[in-house]
Every structure is written in structure tokens, then in C-alpha cells.
Amino acid sequence: MLFNSISFGIFLVIVFILYYICPHRYRWGFMLAASYVFYMNLHLWYGILLFLTTLLTYVLAIAMEKAHSSEQKKLRLRLGILPLILILIFFKTANPVITQINNAISNGRLALQPVTLTILLPAGVSFYFFQSIGYLVDVYRGKIRAERHFGYYALFVSFFPQLLAGPIGRADSLLPQYKKERPFVYENVTYGLKLMTWGYFKKLVIADVFAVTVDQVYNHAHSYVGLIFIITTVMFAIEIYCDFSGYSDIAIGCAKLFGIELMTNFKSPYFSFSIKEFWSRWHISLSTWFRDYVYIPLGGNRVSKQRNCLNLLITFLVSGFWHGSALTYIIWGAAHGLLQIIETLVYPKGRERKKYFWQLPVTFILVCFTWIFFRANSIEDAVWIISRLFWDASRPFNYLKTAVICLEMSYIKMGGLALSVLVLFMYDLLSLKYDVIQEFSRLKFFVRWPAYVLMLVVIALFSYKGVATEFIYFQF
């Protein structure tokens, strides 16, 4: 059940009404059942994997607290984490391995029949696996107590607004919220609906529209040269941001309808002055997860400078592999790791870093450059794109003219896209200092409501495609 589908809209209305009718002591059970209905609507066996993950981590967390020695405790932690990691590795690598086998068969290196099996990555598995692993580690470290109520813990793992693509939650923040009585609060509901509307705008009006051009160029990379690659790479940077932050806004707004606060996942990342700052603003729930459960256990920055650099590189390589086992993702992760290492060497711990305006565009250019590897279908495509970014740039008029022709857009459509990006830019710029939705809600009635209606009309006009369009991060 996709957020941008009519079925989800009907589902949400029904769940919302029944949730507030239901007495508090039964709400956890109702929300748990609703979450499993939401998830199993995608595939029946997804629910089985979700339940087995929940049961395994629930039992082992309690077993860790009952352990008589640190060795027993550590063993039970490993018994909880290792199966989840191995399952993730299997799903991340199975299809690439099958592809390599089939290539070997077609080239005559293996005398076998082609493998026709396709392994589908269960939606959301990476996110709730990471959430469950984080819970086990927090119990192991003594940061939290193991949850004894299986229902509350199962809801923590499966809460439907965040189940498919986060934000990745922490038990110390979410479990108390599920247990606390949540009365109907009008302000929470209106704020949540407005945030969801903004998320739908980013997904349907910007991301999905940009995706058409980006997919055309990147999926047929060898048919293009020159400025079109720079334009579509910037478009992809905006597309993936609007797609994923749009999902996060919908998820956070949806949870807000039920009085649940999820962590902020994006904070105007393209207004960053450095790669380090970018990662403090981009996919915050994942970047902080890697910081707390990969980088810090490796030693973080409490070790020698050389080891700290290695820790950064390992963390970003793991992040790249989490996105996919293809070499393009590994290079993307390594590139961000190397950029962080350079910044660490130039600005060591304790040294004040001044911010200059030129750092904004430089950081954006570096991030966009790494997006080429992230989006390219292969290393060969990425090399082709990079080597031809400035093809025919010595003739500026032809350089620009060729790009405009390749875009295959009317001037009206270009203007519409530029206007939507301008709205996004202004929102993100203002959100650096203000809660834009809250501040906008304080404006006069005759200012607010025309804007709300216009936003809904624009979303409706673009939603003809959105009902069948998955969010990018579902594949991870």
C-alpha cells in the first residue's frame, strides 16, 4: 500500500477514526493490527518475516538482561544481530550474483541453464532490521530496559507510517509514546495534514516530474553528451531529495495525526557548508544510526588520526553497501568517506571552522558529482557521463542548444519546473530559522486558505502518475 495511492487514503481515514474511538488500553492492539494489514497488503509473507524479526529480537533482548556474564550477554546480542545482517546481505547480493552467473552462462564459461529466479527485497526490511538492531544494542549497552510487553515492542517495530522507509526510530523515544494516552488534539491533526500535503507536493509535483527526464537520460546515457548530463544530475539531486524527504514528511505528518512524534529526517541538506554538515542534515535517522552503531563502536574520533580516517571510510563503505551491492553504490559511499576524511584533515577536531558563502555551491557540486555514481546504471555509464560533462563546451551556444533540444520540454513546462523548485528553495531557506508550517498557519485566513487550495489543486493535477509511482528508497 503506497502512501501516494487512493487505497492508502481510504485506509488512513478508517484507521484515524477507529483509533480515536478505541479506548486507550486497546489502542496499541488496534494500531498493531492496522500496521500488519498495511504491510501485508504488499505481500503476505512480508508480515511473516516482520513477525519473526520482532519475536527474535524481543526474546533475545530479555535474554540479554537475564545473562549471568558479559560473555553470555554478548553471545545473545550476536544471535540477534547476525541473522538480520546475513538476511540483508542475502537480499542485497542475490540478484547481482544471479546476473553474474547468467553472464558466465551466456559467454560459455558455465555449461548450465540460465537462472530465471529473481529475489525481491521485502519492502522496508532494511529499515525495520536497523531499528531492531539498534534496539538490541541499546539494551546491551544498558541505555534502555528490554521491553516486556510484546505488543508494545511489536508496535515499535511495525508502526505503519515509518515501516517502509523510516525515519528509523529509537526505542527510548518511541516506546514511551505508545504507552502514553494520546487524546485527540486538533493542532496535531492540522499540522500533520499540512506536513503530509507538503510531502505530497514534493513527491508528485517535483520528484515524479523530474524523474521522467532523469530516467530518460540516465537509462540511455550513451545516447547523450554535454550539458544535458549536468542538468539531469542536478535534477536527480532535487528528485531524490524531494522523493525521500517527501516520504519522510508524509510519514512524520501521518504519525502526528495519532499524536506520535517521529524524528526529523531532513533539514535543508542542500544548504550545507560542508560534506559533514550535509550528512547531519540528510537522512538524519540513518546517518545517526551509522554513527552510533558503526562509527562509534569502531572507535569514532577517540583514536589516532589515521584510525579515525579509516573508521570514516569503513562507515561510508557500509552505507554504500546498504544502498546496494553494485559497485556504483560502493564508489558513492567511498567518495563521501574520502571527502569527509579530507575535511577531517583540513579541519581537525577542536579547530574552529569559519563558513563562507562559496562553500555552499562547492558542497552542492561535490554532492551532485557523487550522485552520478548513485544514479548511473553501471560503472561504464558513470564513466561515460563524467567524461562527457563538458563535451563541446568550447562552443557555448551549441553546448546550451544541444541540452535544450535533449530536454524535450516546452518553455511552459520548464517554467513550471523552475517555479516548483523556487517554492522548494524558499521553503527550505525559511525552515533554517522557522517552522514554516507553524508560521504559515498564523497568517490571515484569506492568505492561508487560497494557498492551501492552490496546493491541493496542483497536487491533484500531477497525481495522475503518482498513484503508481513507488518511492525511490523502497528499493533499499
Count CB-CB contacts under 10 A for residue 398: 13
Give me the residue label for grid cell 527550505.
Answer: 428
Count CB-CB contacts under 10 A for residue 271: 17
Query: CB–CB of 242/203 below 8 Å?
Result: yes
Residue of 149, 222, 323, 336 with catalytic role: 323
Residues contacting 228, CB < 8 A, separation 6+: 217, 402, 403, 406, 407
Helix, strand, or coil (residue 326): coil
Q: Note if 323 is an active site residue.
A: yes
Please report how the helices 44-65 and 24-40 are oriented relative to each other, as an axis angle in degrees rounded to 10: 130
Helix residue ranges per DSSP H, 66-124: 70-106
Q: Backbone phi, then psi, for 334, in 5-degree steps?
A: -60, -40
Best CA proximity match to 2, nearest among 251, 266, 375, 253: 251
Residues contacting 74, CB < 8 A, separation 6+: 140
Give me the residue label for grid cell 551532485.
Answer: 368
Virtual torsion, Cα 27, 32, 33, 36, nearest 10 deg: 160
The residues assigned a catalytic role are 323
